[in-house]
Amino acid sequence: MPFHVIVGGQRGDEGKGRFVDLIAPDYTVVARGNGGANAGHTVAPESMNPIALHQIPSGIVHPHILNIIGNGVFVDPIKLTNEINSLISAGIDVSTKNLVISSSAHLVMPHHLSLDLLRENSQNAQGSTKSGIAFVAGDKYTREGYRMESVYFPKELYAKALELLIDVNSNFQTDLKRTEQELENEVKVWLKATENLKPYIQDTVDLINQRLLNGENILGEGAQAFWLDISHGMYPYVTSSSTTVTGLLDGLGISPKSVSKVSMVIKAIKSHVGGGPFVTEITDEQIAQNIRGEFGQTDSEYGATTKRPRRLGYLDLVEIRKAIQLNGVDELYLTKLDHVPRFGDTFKIATEYILDGKNIVYAPSSANLLSKCTPIYREFTSWKEDISHIRKYSELPHQAREFIEFIEKELGIPIKKIGVGPERNSVIER
Cβ atoms within 10 Å of 162's Cβ, excluding its own:
20
Comparing C-alpha atoms, which of 85, 150, 140 is closest to residue 112?
Answer: 140
Query: Backbone phi, then psi, for 214, in 5-degree steps?
Result: -80, -5
Catalytic residue among 13, 229, 316, 338, which? Answer: 13
* Distance, CA of 423 to CA of 344 (rounded, Å): 24
Q: Give residue 181's identity as a one-letter amino acid code.
A: Q
Comparing C-alpha atoms, which of 393, 403, 400, 399 is closest to residue 351?
Answer: 403
Cβ atoms within 10 Å of 333's Cβ, excluding its own:
24
* Distance, CA of 101 to CA of 55 (rounded, Å): 10
Comparing C-alpha atoms, which of 66, 74, 75 is closest to residue 96?
Answer: 66
Cis? peptide before 2, omega within 30° of 0: no
* Distance, CA of 95 to CA of 88 (rounded, Å): 9
Q: State the Rg of the chain over Cα.
A: 22
Q: What is the DSSP letter of 50?
A: -
Q: State how far the alpha carbon of 286 is from the alpha carbons of 132, 200, 339, in Å.
A: 34, 48, 15
Comparing C-alpha atoms, which of 285, 426, 407, 423 is closest to residue 10?
Answer: 407
Comparing C-alpha atoms, which of 116, 102, 115, 184 is closest to residue 151?
Answer: 102
Q: What is the DSSP letter of 302?
A: B
Q: Are strands 358-360 and 331-335 parallel, antiparallel or unpaired?
A: unpaired
What's the longest Cα–Cα distance across the chain? 66
Q: Alpha helices, DSSP H only, in 31-153? A: 77-89, 110-120, 133-141
Catalytic annotation on 41? yes
DSSP per position, 205-246 = HHHHHHHHHTT--EEEE--S-GGG-TTTSSTTSS-SS--SHH
Catalytic residue among 4, 41, 54, 111, which? Answer: 41
Catalytic sites, residue numbers? 13, 41
